[in-house]
Structure 1
Amino acid sequence: MPPTLVNVAVGILLGVALLGAAFDRHSIAIVAAVAGIPDLDAVISLVVPGATNAALHTLFIPAIAAALLYYDTEHRADSWLRRRYGWYGVRVAWVAIAAYAVAGIGLDLFNIESAAALYPVSDRYYSIVGRFILSTQEGVIQTYIEVADGWLKVASPGTTETHHVNTWINPTPGTGNPAGVERNIRIVDSGWQFVLVVTAVAAVPAKYLIERGDV
Structure 2
Amino acid sequence: MPSSVVHAGFALLLAAGLLKGAYDRPALAVVLFVIVLPEVDSLMGPVMPGAHRTVGHNFVLPAAAGLLLYYDTRLRGTSLLRERFADRGVKIAWVALFAHVFAHIFLDWAHLEGVNALWPLHDEFFRLEGEILLSTADGFVQTFIDIELDPDTGERTVDAGSTGTTESVHVNNPVEPDSPENLVDAEEIDRRFPIAQRGWRLYLILIGVFAVVARRFQSDPPADEA
Tell me whether the two structures share a fold, i.e. TM-score over 0.5. yes
Q: Which residue of 2 aligns with 1:127?
A: 127
Q: Which residue of 1 aligns with 2:62?
A: 62
| 1:129 CA drift (Å) | 0.8
Q: Report the secondary structure of 1:6's partner residue.
A: helix
Q: Which has the larger radius of gyration?
A: 2
Aligned counterparts of 1:122 and 1:183: Cα–Cα separation in 2: 30
Q: Which residue of 1 aligns with 2:38?
A: 38
Mean CA deviation greater in 194-203 or 13-22? 13-22
* Contact 1:125–1:158 (Cα < 8 Å) also in 2: yes
211 and 151 in structure 1: CA distance in 2 versus 1, 3 angstrom threshold: farther
Q: Which residue of 2 aligns with 1:169?
A: 175
Which blocks of at least 5 consecutive residues in structure 1 are unaligned?
none
Moved over 4 A (4+): 149-152, 175-179, 211-214
| 1:189 CA drift (Å) | 1.1
Aligned counterparts of 2:84 and 2:120: Cα–Cα separation in 1: 33
Q: Deviations over 1:164-198 (max 9, x none)?
A: 10011111334996573222221111111111110
- Identity, in percent, stands at 36
Mean CA deviation greater in 129-138 or 191-200? 129-138
Q: Within the alignment, does 1:205 sit opposite 2:213 as a pair?
A: yes
Q: How much is the aligned-residue C-alpha RMSD, in angstroms?
A: 2.1
Aligned counterparts of 2:157 and 2:18: Cα–Cα separation in 1: 35
Aligned counterparts of 1:71 and 1:118: Cα–Cα separation in 2: 22
Residue from 174, 178, 195 that aligns with 2:203: 195
TM-score in terms of structure 1 length: 0.91
Amino acid at match of 2:210: A
| 1:151 CA drift (Å) | 5.3
Aligned counterparts of 1:49 and 1:112: Cα–Cα separation in 2: 17
Where does 1:1-215 land on structure 2 (aligned, <5 Å)? Answer: 1-149=1-149, 150=156, 152-174=158-180, 180-213=188-221
Which blocks of at least 5 consecutive residues in structure 2 are unaligned?
150-155
